[in-house]
């Protein structure tokens, strides 16, 4: 392990070393040493690393994970999807967490406008992408477009408005009713240009009027 890897791992598990080790050992000793395949070991280890990384709010990209673990970004995407399906989906807060992650993508600057009626959202986590696609289909909001690449999904502004409304509703009735407000208060609006901010604030105002009442938005 090189110096940079060591520093990143220390950031992820700092003050949580005992908890990390206990969860790791429990998983393998419950099943019997040697009974877990290499692929399952990789998936569970990534699950633990991602779990503690989220708690520390480090927001590692697929590139960061790839550099840390010395595997391709394609393999990182596969691991994130497997972890989501096998472990995250069992969490009672899974849907709530997914809606929060959707809002965080928008407030962190991963949305861009394409023409007058479309937006493009960059989603590196394939499990979150799968979640949003499922809701777009379930809500019958039309189709999504991957003409750019598999991480950049395009859909209508109307779909964005309905997804924002749905996210705010699901978060408000879930665990931690003020979480949506917290997400918007920590927003990185500087990642958007003036015109994009003006459009986005207008969309948020129409979709989640309660947020506009409780959160002060900067002047575009």
Residues in the chain: 220
DSSP character for 126? Answer: H
Question: How much is the pLDDT for 175?
Answer: 53
pLDDT tens digit string along 91-138?
A: 888 999 999 999 999 999 999 999 889 999 999 999 999 999 999 999
pLDDT tens digit string along 4-59?
A: 999 999 999 999 999 999 999 998 888 777 788 999 999 999 999 999 999 998 98
pLDDT tens digit string along 166-197?
A: 998 898 865 555 788 889 988 999 999 999 99
DSSP character for 95? Answer: H
Question: What's the Cα-to-Cα distance from 33 to each of 37, 49, 72, 207, rounded to whole Å?
Answer: 10, 21, 28, 52
Is the pTM here over 0.75, yes or no? yes
């Amino acid at each position: 392990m090189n110096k940079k890897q060591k520093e990143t791992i220390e950031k992820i598990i700092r003050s949580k070393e005992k908890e990390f080790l206990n969860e790791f050992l429990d998983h393998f000793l419950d099943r019997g040493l040697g009974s877990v395949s290499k692929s399952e070991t990789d998936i569970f280890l990534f699950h633990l690393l991602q779990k503690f990384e989220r708690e520390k709010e480090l927001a590692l990209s697929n590139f960061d994970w790839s550099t840390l673990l010395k595997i391709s970004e394609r393999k990182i995407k596969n691991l994130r999807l497997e972890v989501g399906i096998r472990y995250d989906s069992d969490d009672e807060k899974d849907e709530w967490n997914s809606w929060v992650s959707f809002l965080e993508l928008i407030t962190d600057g991963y949305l861009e406008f394409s023409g007058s009626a479309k937006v493009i959202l960059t989603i590196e986590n394939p499990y979150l992408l799968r979640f949003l696609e499922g809701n777009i289909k379930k809500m019958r909001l039309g189709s999504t477009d991957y003409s750019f690449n598999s991480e950049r999904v395009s859909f209508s502004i109307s779909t964005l408005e309905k997804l924002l409304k749905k996210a705010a509703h699901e978060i408000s009735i879930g665990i931690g009713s003020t979480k949506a407000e917290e997400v918007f208060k920590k927003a990185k609006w500087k990642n958007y240009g003036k015109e994009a901010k003006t459009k986005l604030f207008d969309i948020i105002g129409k979709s989640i009027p309660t947020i506009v009442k409780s959160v002060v938005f900067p002047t575009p």
